[in-house]
Amino acid sequence: MKQKYKLGTGKYISQRERFTWHLKLLLILLIVVVLGSGVFLYDFYHKKQNPQTPTTKTTIKKITFEDKNFSTAYFSFKDSEAWNFIDSQSTANKFVFQKYLPKSTLVQHQLIVYINTTPPPLDLAASRVLPIEINDDGKTFKVSQVSDHCGTSYKPGEIHRVSTRQISGATLLCDPDQGQFRVVFSQIGGDYNLKLKRDNGTTANYIIIYQNQKIDPNSDTLMQVGDSFKAI
C-alpha cells in the first residue's frame, strides 16, 4: 500500500488515514454549509414576517410659550423664553419686565404695564400701535397686526412733534422721530386706556407698552405676549 510522508512527524501515513482525514474535513465543511444556510433562511423568513418600517426623519415641533407663565397681582402673560421682573424699576402701579440677549445682560425686549395710572407723555409716546379688540370675557383680547412707524402718518412739511394719531382705528401718542420699535396696545375704536375686568369683579385701567431693542426687530415676541395677556 502506498504511503505518504507526514511532514514534521518523521512518520508515514497510510491511505486509510488520509481517507479518514479527508472525510472529517468534508463533514466539517458540510456542517458549516448547513449552519450557514440555516442562518440565512431564518433571517430571510424573519424579515418577511416582520418587514422593517422605512426610516423617516422625525420632525420635532417646538411648543410655543406654553411652559412659561409670568404673572403679577393684576395680569399674566406667556412666552417661550424667560422674562425677568425688574423690581427696581417697578412700583405698585407700574410693572416692568425685561428679556435679555441669551447669555448676557443686554436687554432685547421690555414690557411695561401701567395700572390705573397714566405715564408722562415722554414715557407714553410710541412709534407703533398694536390694535386690539377686547374679548367678551373682558380679560383678554384679540390682537391685529402691528402698524408701521407712525411717522409715516405725517404729511410732507408737517412739523414732527409728539401728537395723537389714529392708525387702523386705534389711537396712540405718536413720536414721529422715535428710533426704537416701541409699541402701545390700543383698542380699535378707542385708545390705549384698556378697561379690563379683574378676577375680583372690579375693572382696572391698563396701559401696555412693549419695546424691542434688537437691531433687526420683529413682532414675534410682541404677538406672543399680546395673544396670551390676561387681566387677573
Q: By C-alpha distance, which of 113, 141, 146 is closest to 228?
A: 141
Residue 118 sits in the same domain as residue 39: no
pLDDT, averaged across the chain: 83
- Rounded CA gap, 51 and 70, in Å? 50
**Which pLDDT band holds residue 105 (cuts at 50, 70, 90)?**
confident
Taking residue 95's Cβ as centre, other Cβ atoms within 10 Å add up to 22
36: pLDDT strictly greater than 70 = no
DSSP designation for 153: G
Q: Tally the domains of the chain.
A: 2
* The pLDDT of residue 20: 67
Residue 16 sits in the same domain as residue 98: no
Q: Once rounded to an integer, what is the mean pLDDT over residues 32-49?
A: 56
126: pLDDT strictly greater than 50 = yes
124: pLDDT strictly greater than 70 = yes
Q: Which of 58-67, 69-78, 104-113 has the lowest mean pLDDT?
A: 58-67
Residue 40 sits in the same domain as residue 116: no
* The pLDDT of residue 19: 64
Supply the range of the domain harboring residue 43: 4-49
55: pLDDT strictly greater than 50 = no
Residue 40 sits in the same domain as residue 115: no
**Which pLDDT band holds residue 28 (cuts at 50, 70, 90)?**
confident
Residue 122 sits in the same domain as residue 227: yes
- Rounded CA gap, 127 and 96, in Å? 19
**Which pLDDT band holds residue 54 (cuts at 50, 70, 90)?**
very low
